Amino acid sequence: MSKRVVITGIGMVTAVGNDTASAWQALCEGRSGAGPVASFDASGYTTRIAAEIKDFDPSLYMDRKEIRRNDRFVHYAMAASKQALADSGFEITDENGDDVGVIIGSGIGGLQTCHEQFRVLFEKGPDRISPFFITMFITDIASGVISLTLGARGPNFATVSACATGANAIGEAGEMIKRGDAIAMLAGGAEAGVTPMGLGAFGALRALSRRNDDPEGASRPFDAERDGFVLGEGAGVLMLEDEEYARKRGARIYGELVSYASTSDAYHITEPAPHGEGLARAIKRTLAKGGLNLEDVQYINAHGTATAYNDSHETQAIKSVFGDYAYKIPISSTKSMIGHTLGAAGGIETAVAALTVYYGVITPTINLAHPDPECDLDYVPLTAREAKVNVALSNSMGFGGHNAVVAVKRYVG
């Protein structure tokens, strides 16, 4: 018999707050974390804005040696993981460590480390490359370091599916608990892509907003005047547990991870399939696996990147699944406030979906001042909304045709 999976802890590092409480408050208030790039000189770039992490102190979560030996994406992952673990009240011990796992994904991995070490190679030669380069760069290392640090000896790997990474990590972790491979999993995504190469490469792809004179208004999902996404960074990690185990230890439960599905567009390397067909299949499968009716869904945290194709195709996908009921579902984009955090997006946004279910507040889509006629659903524009939400979906889509959908349900013991 399949086990039930519940969410008992949440950790977040975002451009609007370096912990869950401050990030959630800022999101509910509709604050933007975007601004001029501060971590390097971006004056020669076409896009000179980003949603950077601010005032983050990795020494709160790692010692100085470990900080030096790990990329920023690992710093963020460790912070979010330790936050989620502390929030859950779960203690990893020698007795239960074999049954606790970690799946933390990243879309790109140690991009800053890659940038710095290639410069060393070209300027000083191969003998000066850091012996830690490989272990700082590879995308699985966040999971590895977290597992090592916390003593979690259960399943341990990383998902890599571009901007669907975090959602895939959470979904696959939930599946592991359901089939009895673990009693608890730390799962989510982390990214530190605001680097010279990251900003330049996405700019070359013409994916970024060029609204340099208005950074806080630049991320405009579903708005007719949107011109691309704002590059963000951070991490979102959930503590998932076997429901019976969590209940026995008296854990606070944010919600139930009721179902998850992933699909492939098999259509184009960057553009979504026509009419969002691949995402629509993922939504349908998620509903079917969770035994959910269309009317059970009362909120959707959209992928909502503020790119022309994504927003219209996601809207079409939602309409194709829900029909007329689509117009009654509140939908919002967290990316309007924290930018597109790439591999971390699904982790942060599933966390937001869980908090929405738990607290009964739907975070807004800010900057939605001129609705696109093709995007005509209820995107909760500009201000948050109080609402009882029994089931929330979190949609994720990634380059390569990846789609992942997670359903979070109000917990009933």
CB 58 within 8 A of CB 235: no
The three-class DSSP label of residue 117 is helix
* Sequence ranges of the domains in the chain: 5-248, 259-409
Does 5-248 carry CATH code 3.40.47.10? yes
The pTM of this model reads 0.97
Q: Which of 287, 284, 408, 293 is nearest to 346 (CA)?
A: 408
**pLDDT tens digits along 74-97:** 999 999 999 999 999 999 999 999
Q: How far apart, in whole angstroms, are the C-alpha atoms of residue 352 and residue 345?
A: 10
Helix ranges, 89-212 (H): 111-124, 133-137, 141-150, 165-178, 196-204
- pLDDT band at 231, cuts 50/70/90? very high
Segment 149-174 mean pLDDT: 98
Q: Which CATH class is domain 259-409?
A: alpha beta
As given in the structure block, the two tokens for residue 62 are 């790692």
The answer to which of 103-112, 269-278, 279-288 has the lowest mean pLDDT is 269-278
Given a contact cutoff of 8 angstroms between Cβ atoms, the answer to whether 97 and 180 are in contact is no
Residue pLDDT, tens place only, 6-22: 999 999 999 999 999 99
The domains spanning 5-248 and 259-409 adopt the same CATH topology: yes
Residues pairing with 235 in the sheet: 13, 190
Q: Report the pLDDT averaged over residues 156-185.
A: 98
- Quote the pLDDT of residue 76: 98
pLDDT in tens, 278-323: 999 999 999 999 999 999 999 999 999 999 899 999 999 999 999 9
Q: DSSP letters of 310-348?
A: HHHHHHHHHHHHHGGGGGGS-EE-THHHH-B-GGGHHHH
pLDDT in the model for residue 2: 82
Q: Which amino acid is at 176?
A: M
Catalytic residues: 163, 303, 340
Do the strands 234-242 and 402-409 form a parallel or antiparallel pair, or are they unpaired? unpaired
Report the 10 Å Cβ neighbour count for 69: 16
Report residue 328's pLDDT band, with 50, 70 and 90 as the boundaries. Answer: very high
Task: Report the alpha-carbon distance of residue 14 to residue 220 in Å, rounded.
Answer: 18
The single-letter DSSP state of residue 162 is: T
Residue 12, SS3? strand
pLDDT value at position 1?
A: 66
Residue 59 predicted with pLDDT over 70 = yes
**What integer pLDDT is reported at residue 413 of this predicted model?**
79
Residue 86 host element (H or E): helix 72-88
- Proportion of the chain above pLDDT 70, given as a percent: 100
Helix (H) or strand (E) holding 280, with range, is: helix 277-289
